Amino acid sequence: MRKLLISIIICILLSVLVQGVTCEDVLTPGANCEMKSPYLECVGTYNYTIHNLTGLVTSGNLTSSGEGLYYFMFNLSEGDYLVKLCDDSTREINVKYEEENMWLAIVFSLGIMTCLFLVIAFAIKDKDLKHLKIFFLLLGVVNTLLLGAIPYLISLNPEDVKSFLPVGIGYLSVNGLAVVYFMWFYAAHLVGNVFRKTGGKNE
């Protein structure tokens, strides 16, 4: 039952990680998203260019998603950008920090991660995964403390909340890497168990 629970958690995490986030007109710096095109008919190469006030920022080829639709991954720093596609259509994108909404998103995401880590920690009963259990239990406890500390940190300098955002986003990225590590390690553990059982039967 516990193995089934952990496997379900892995499937849910994979579906969230694999699914792309569609770009909106206002984006957060450092956030990856899919810039999707309308139906395109271009002559030659299907590509895009991104410009700002100083000129060309970057360019590249579009990836087909079928039926004349294309996309590319967008991830740029703070600023105003103009995206131009191969059919000369354009779209304005504003990348900026929205302090209030960002902090709500960070706190919410951290809360979800905390619950997830604690569930994983208490679901692991295999003695071979004892160090993994301790790792996620400690991470869940640290996150719980941070959830209480974040309002205090913001209150220290409420006029400069923006300076805390890169730290918050970076810490969430570390949490994401911990989830990826767990999925990789647990999958390797399951595969190892299968091989050990198969080897035992052959003998």
Alpha carbons 60 and 47: distance in angstroms, whole number: 6
Tell the residue number behind the tokens 């960070």, with chain if given. Answer: 106
Give the structural domain span for 171.
2-14+98-194
Establish if 24 belongs to a structural domain.
Answer: no
- Say if residue 107 is in the same domain as residue 86: no
- Say if residue 47 is in the same domain as residue 128: no
- Say if residue 103 is in the same domain as residue 84: no
Rg over CA atoms, the chain: 22
**Residue range 31-36: average pLDDT?**
81
The confidence score (pLDDT) of residue 59 equals: 92
- Say if residue 54 is in the same domain as residue 141: no
- Say if residue 44 is in the same domain as residue 59: yes
DSSP H or E segment with residue 15? helix 2-18
Tokens at residue 173, please? Answer: 């990225």
Task: Answer with the one of 38, 71, 95 that is the final residue of a domain.
Answer: 95
pTM comes to 0.45
- Say if residue 110 is in the same domain as residue 126: yes
Establish if 187 belongs to a structural domain.
Answer: yes
pLDDT tens-digit series, residues 94-120: 887 665 566 677 778 888 888 888 888
- Say if residue 10 is in the same domain as residue 82: no
Helix, strand or coil, per DSSP, at residue 46 = coil
- Say if residue 81 is in the same domain as residue 115: no
Q: What percent of the chain has pLDDT over 70?
A: 70
- Say if residue 120 is in the same domain as residue 67: no
The confidence score (pLDDT) of residue 20 equals: 47
pLDDT tens-digit series, residues 135-192: 888 888 888 888 777 777 667 665 555 666 677 777 777 777 877 777 777 777 777 7
Establish if 49 belongs to a structural domain.
Answer: yes
Check residues 140 and 203 and name the one with the higher pLDDT.
Answer: 140
Task: Answer with the one of 66, 95, 124 that is the final residue of a domain.
Answer: 95
- Output the 3-class SS for 111-177: HHHHHHHHHHHHHCCCHHHHHHHHHHHHHHHHHHHHHHHHHHHHHHCHHHHHHHHHHHHHHHHHHHH
Establish if 178 belongs to a structural domain.
Answer: yes
Confidence of residue 83 (pLDDT cuts 50, 70, 90): very high
Question: Could you tell me which residues come within 8 angstroms of residue 86 by beta carbon, excluding any fewer than 6 positions away?
Answer: 40, 42, 43, 44, 45, 46, 47, 48, 62
Establish if 21 belongs to a structural domain.
Answer: no
The confidence score (pLDDT) of residue 14 equals: 47
- Say if residue 117 is in the same domain as residue 188: yes
pLDDT tens-digit series, residues 46-74: 999 999 988 999 999 999 988 888 999 88
- Say if residue 103 is in the same domain as residue 185: yes
Establish if 162 belongs to a structural domain.
Answer: yes
Q: How many domains does the chain have?
A: 2
- Say if residue 113 is in the same domain as residue 190: yes
The confidence score (pLDDT) of residue 15 equals: 47
Question: Could you tell me which residues come within 8 angstroms of residue 41 by beta carbon, excluding any fewer than 6 positions away?
Answer: 68, 87
Confidence of residue 82 (pLDDT cuts 50, 70, 90): very high
Establish if 150 belongs to a structural domain.
Answer: yes
